[in-house]
């Protein structure tokens, strides 16, 4: 399925589920106001295409846009459906892809499988239509490529917690199960590669506690979506009563010590 067609499908994705757990109002606004692709996202998209062996429409900007010839070349690229990317970003994406291809563990993760596999299902508990697009689907599991600032075990664990990557893992494994392929899908692996030289790589799976907690978050997000959709009311915050709230401050605030 083309990426644009997948994104246009109205089913709930794991990225939307993460936003719902924070703010249904923000989720609804983002649904109605899609964000343009940023430069950083362009690098990620190109990197994924190179590693997964997918076609792409990126063209490095090698012309001077201030000249007539440069303007004509830029327009020709756009007319042909191309996406312009800076030479530095082009080189970075290729360097990252080269690092993965040369890594003894990571390179083996992207063989004997299918890239960009779109999965759809109906949640049997909530009735919510859900979707996911696996980077790489094999007979043994799902592989997800992440570009990151720190691919070390400690650093990437922080990223997993910060960006709710565990919810993504639980979401995709559940989609595989709902598509009746759970008998062969028994693993979800992250290939984390740093975005700066020397492009260090870590290959990780999550432990039982992380996945089990993420499944609970997944179920909660689907319930929020079901309930908000039923009445078309999208509150600013979850578990926040109407009116004025009383805040409790984090523990570190009281450990600062009193000024002398």
Q: How do 188-194 and 142-148 pair as beta strands?
A: parallel
- Domain end point (choices 71, 87, 102): 102
pLDDT band at 186 (very low <50, low <70, confident <90, very high): low
62 and 18 within one domain: no
124 and 28 within one domain: yes
61 and 24 within one domain: no
Q: Mean pLDDT of all residues in the chain?
A: 91
90 and 112 within one domain: no
Per-residue pLDDT of 230-246, as tens digits, reads 999 999 988 766 677 88
44 and 30 within one domain: no
The pLDDT of residue 77 is 80
The pLDDT of residue 79 is 84
Do residues 17 and 222 lie in contact, with contact meaning Cβ atoms separated by under 8 Å? yes
The pLDDT of residue 37 is 76
Do residues 163 and 17 lie in contact, with contact meaning Cβ atoms separated by under 8 Å? no
- Domain end point (choices 102, 127, 151): 102
Within 80-182, where are the H helices?
87-102, 106-109, 153-162, 165-178
Within the chain, where are the H helices?
3-8, 14-22, 24-32, 39-52, 68-79, 87-102, 106-109, 153-162, 165-178, 208-231, 251-254
Within a domain: 75:
yes
The pLDDT of residue 123 is 97
230 and 145 within one domain: yes
What is the percent of the chain with per-residue pLDDT over 70, rounded to a whole number? 96
47 and 31 within one domain: no
Residue 183 has pLDDT above 60, yes or no: no
Residue 258 has pLDDT above 70, yes or no: yes
75 and 4 within one domain: no
Residue range of the domain that includes 83 = 37-102
Residue 190 has pLDDT above 70, yes or no: yes
The DSSP secondary-structure symbol of 12 reads B
Residues 6 or more apart whose Cβ sits within 8 Å of residue 151: 192, 193, 194, 200, 201, 202
The total domain count for the chain is 2
Residues 6 or more apart whose Cβ sits within 8 Å of residue 140: 184, 185, 186, 187
Residue 229 has pLDDT above 80, yes or no: yes
More confident residue, 86 or 186: 86
177 and 196 within one domain: yes
112 and 98 within one domain: no
pLDDT band at 41 (very low <50, low <70, confident <90, very high): confident
The pLDDT of residue 126 is 97
Q: How do 83-85 and 58-60 pair as beta strands?
A: parallel
The pLDDT of residue 256 is 82
Question: What CATH number has the domain bearing residue 207?
Answer: 3.90.320.10
Our CA dihedral for 222, 225, 227, 232, rounded to 10 degrees, sits at -170
- Buried-exposed string 27-62: b where 16+ CB fall within 10 A, e elsewhere: bbeeeeeeeeeeeeebbbbbbbbbbbeeeeebbbbe
Within a domain: 115:
yes
141 and 64 within one domain: no
Do residues 94 and 48 lie in contact, with contact meaning Cβ atoms separated by under 8 Å? no
What is the percent of the chain with per-residue pLDDT over 90, rounded to a whole number? 69
pTM of the predicted structure, to 2 decimals = 0.89
- Domain end point (choices 54, 75, 102): 102
pLDDT band at 167 (very low <50, low <70, confident <90, very high): very high
Do residues 126 and 20 lie in contact, with contact meaning Cβ atoms separated by under 8 Å? no
């Amino acid at each position: 399925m083309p990426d644009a067609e997948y994104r246009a499908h109205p089913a709930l994705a794991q990225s939307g589920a993460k936003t719902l757990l924070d703010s249904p109002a923000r989720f609804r606004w983002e649904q109605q106001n899609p964000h343009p692709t940023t430069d950083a996202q362009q690098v990620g998209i190109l990197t994924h295409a190179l590693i997964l062996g997918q076609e792409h429409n990126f063209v490095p900007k090698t012309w001077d846009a201030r000249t007539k010839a440069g303007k004509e070349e830029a327009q020709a690229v756009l007319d042909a459906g191309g996406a312009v990317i800076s030479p530095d970003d082009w080189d970075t994406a290729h360097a990252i892809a080269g690092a993965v291809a040369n890594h003894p563990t990571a390179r083996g993760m992207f063989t004997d499988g299918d890239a960009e596999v779109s999965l759809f299902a109906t949640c049997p508990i909530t009735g919510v239509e859900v979707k996911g697009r696996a980077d790489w689907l094999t007979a043994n599991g799902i592989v997800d490529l992440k570009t990151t600032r720190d691919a070390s075990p400690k650093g990437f664990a922080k990223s997993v917690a910060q960006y709710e990557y565990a919810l993504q893992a639980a979401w995709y494994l559940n989609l595989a199960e709902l598509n009746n392929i759970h008998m062969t899908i028994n693993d979800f692996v992250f290939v984390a590669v740093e975005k700066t030289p020397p492009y260090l790589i870590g290959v990780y799976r999550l432990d039982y506690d992380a996945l089990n907690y993420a499944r609970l978050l997944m179920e909660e997000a689907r319930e929020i979506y079901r309930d908000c959709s039923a009445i078309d009311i999208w509150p600013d915050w979850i578990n926040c009563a109407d009116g004025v709230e009383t805040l409790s401050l984090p523990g570190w605030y009281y450990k600062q010590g009193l000024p002398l």
